[in-house]
């Protein structure tokens, strides 16, 4: 879909709250469990983005986390960053007639739950990255000092929040792919049987 269909302008590639709400995105079956699971694996501090991939049952099968670029708010750059990390942790589904896996995005930041221009750029980026990787575009979650919130459907909770990472015991994430250990990204992949199936 082009910029007009997505409710964007070619200059900023961003979605407004109304355009995001009209996108008919699949609802998370259990947002609290998804958010808690992504937080447990990636422990995002403010300034971190977490992208997770869910299977048809809503189980998280892959994910990656990386640092935000402050002051950018460029949907094109955000889309490229999401695609790069998705390609590292899960193969594309472009050969399928319709997407079966769903990508969700969690942005950890200071401030309020409300929509910002940066959120709009990430929303556009998530939609476009999903289209290019053969995934369904899923929920957009903000993680702030007040807790977490799924933008667009109003579901929220107090924990985890943007400061939760500082209260947890630092532990190694296992297993990690060897290539991820040499890069500034924390990633989790699908269990061994799923990886073997794609060979």
Q: What CATH number is associated with residue 44?
A: 3.40.140.10
Maximum CA extent, the chain: 46
Task: Give CA–CA dist 136/50, Å, rounded.
Answer: 16
Task: Give CA–CA dist 172/170, Å, rounded.
Answer: 7
| Residue 18 maps to a domain | no
Q: What is the pLDDT of residue 168?
A: 59
| Residue 25 maps to a domain | no
The domain containing residue 102 runs over which residues?
30-197
Residue 151 is given by DSSP the state T
Q: Which residues of the chain have pLDDT under 70?
A: 1-12, 70-72, 167-199
Q: What is the pLDDT of residue 103?
A: 98
Around 94, how many Cα atoms within 13 Å sit in the side-chain half-sphere? 8
| Residue 6 maps to a domain | no
pLDDT digits (tens, 9 = 90+) for 1-47: 333 333 444 456 999 999 998 888 999 999 999 999 999 999 999 99
Q: What is the pLDDT of residue 170?
A: 46
Domains of the chain: total: 1
If residue 124 lies in a helix (H) or strand (E), which one and from where to where?
Answer: helix 117-133
pLDDT digits (tens, 9 = 90+) for 3-16: 333 344 445 699 99
| Residue 170 maps to a domain | yes
């Amino acid at each position: 879909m082009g910029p007009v269909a997505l409710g964007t302008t070619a200059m900023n590639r961003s979605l407004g709250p109304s355009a995001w709400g009209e996108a008919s995105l699949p609802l998370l079956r259990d947002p609290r469990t998804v958010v808690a699971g992504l937080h447990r694996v990636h422990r995002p501090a403010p300034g971190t983005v977490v992208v997770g991939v869910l299977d048809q049952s809503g189980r998280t099968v892959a994910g990656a986390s990386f640092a935000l670029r402050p002051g950018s708010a460029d949907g094109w750059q955000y889309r490229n960053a999401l695609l790069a990390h998705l390609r590292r942790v899960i193969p594309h589904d472009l050969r399928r007639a319709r997407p079966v896996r769903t990508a969700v995005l969690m942005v950890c930041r200071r401030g309020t739950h409300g929509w910002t221009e940066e959120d709009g750029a990430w929303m556009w980026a998530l939609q476009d990255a999903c289209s290019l990787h053969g995934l369904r575009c899923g929920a957009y979650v903000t993680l702030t000092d007040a807790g977490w919130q799924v933008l667009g459907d109003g579901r929220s909770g107090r924990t985890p929040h943007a400061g939760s990472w500082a209260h947890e015991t630092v532990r190694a994430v296992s297993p990690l792919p060897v290539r991820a250990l040499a890069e500034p990204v924390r990633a989790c992949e699908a269990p061994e049987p799923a990886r073997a199936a794609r060979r």
